[in-house]
Amino acid sequence: MDVVALGELLIDFTENGTSAQDNKLFEANPGGAPCNVLAMLQKLGHQTAFIGKVGQDAFGRLLVDAVKEQGIDTTGVRYDDNVHTTLAFVQTAADGDRDFSFYRNPGADMMLTADEVDLSLVRNAKIFHFGSLSMTDKICENATKHAIAAAKEAGVLISFDPNLRKPLWKSMDDAKEKISWGLSQCDILKISDDEIEFMTGEKDIKTGVKKLIDEYHIPFICATMGKNGSMAFFDGHIVEAAPFLRDDTVETTGAGDTFCACLLHDVLEHGINDRKDDGVKKMLTFANAAASLITTRKGALRVMPEKGEVEAVIK
């Protein structure tokens, strides 16, 4: 496998108009950041696999079917007979930004145990990708750490996206501690401007990332800044790329995941060492364009853009 990801697989209920009775309608979109990343990587021609857990219920079966449709290997997916699949209701503001209401107390994704992790998938990957939500509970935290230990032992590159969702943490101190551990493990980091401020106290991206590099020595960092584009930090270099602002944005669900997939696609092709500024600038531009496309669509996992669509946006 090119990329194996571990984490949450859930239903994103996104707004989709109103009924004849003027009630809001919600569409059940397959989601979860790690699988969104894998879905985009599949579009870019890579072989991927997912490790996680869903409930033995209608939503769990819907999710696994949707993941299989994208070509993602699901041999690492487990079912829980007692805990339901996690659900998230996404309220969308006029500018496309989102507010999440989670039904995950607990959710099946939190119940993945270390013994249930398929380590053969992890050891045979080129990149292992994870986020912080698989560390919100001790059970799935142990599974995550078990997988990362196996990945490191096998020389697999580690990719981390904090993907901070404040309502899912018992406390912000707990969130900071677990994200800090993730930062200490990764070779590749995709992090948002809000997460940089949360972890460093710095609003300025460059100052905040310098703190992260000084503390965690991460070789390759990409910072996403929404409508302000993105930056990459590597070997003492800083490269910036402008955003692709659109008038047809519907919602921003999956934009960061799409960007992350394009980053991993580029790393699979060119690595993280001895990178040149112009090559990294092309990567950021492609990732920004792809992320802009996903904001014009509801959901993420099933509607990732084709490579040709992204190239057309850039042109």
- Domain annotation covers residue 235: yes
What does the pLDDT read at residue 94? Answer: 64
- Domain annotation covers residue 80: yes
Q: Which amino acid is located at 259 in the chain?
A: F
- Domain annotation covers residue 195: yes
- Domain annotation covers residue 96: no
What CATH number did the domain enclosing 232 receive?
A: 3.40.1190.20
- Domain annotation covers residue 21: no
Query: Band of the pLDDT at 198, cuts 50, 70, 90?
Result: very high
Q: Per the structure, how many domains does the chain have?
A: 1
Give residue-wise pLDDT tens across range 212-235: 999 999 999 999 999 999 999 999
- Expressed as residue numbers, the domain containing 154 is 3-7+32-85+104-314
Q: CA triplet 153, 80, 13: central angle to 5 degrees?
A: 100
- Domain annotation covers residue 16: no
Tell which residue, 37, 30, 50, has the closest CA to residue 298: 30
What does the pLDDT read at residue 4? Answer: 98
- Domain annotation covers residue 97: no
Q: How far apart are CA 159 and CA 284, in angstroms?
A: 17
- Domain annotation covers residue 212: yes
Query: What is the pTM (predicted TM-score) of this model?
Result: 0.94
Helices in the chain by DSSP H: which ranges? 33-43, 58-69, 119-123, 138-153, 172-185, 193-200, 205-216, 255-270, 277-294, 307-314
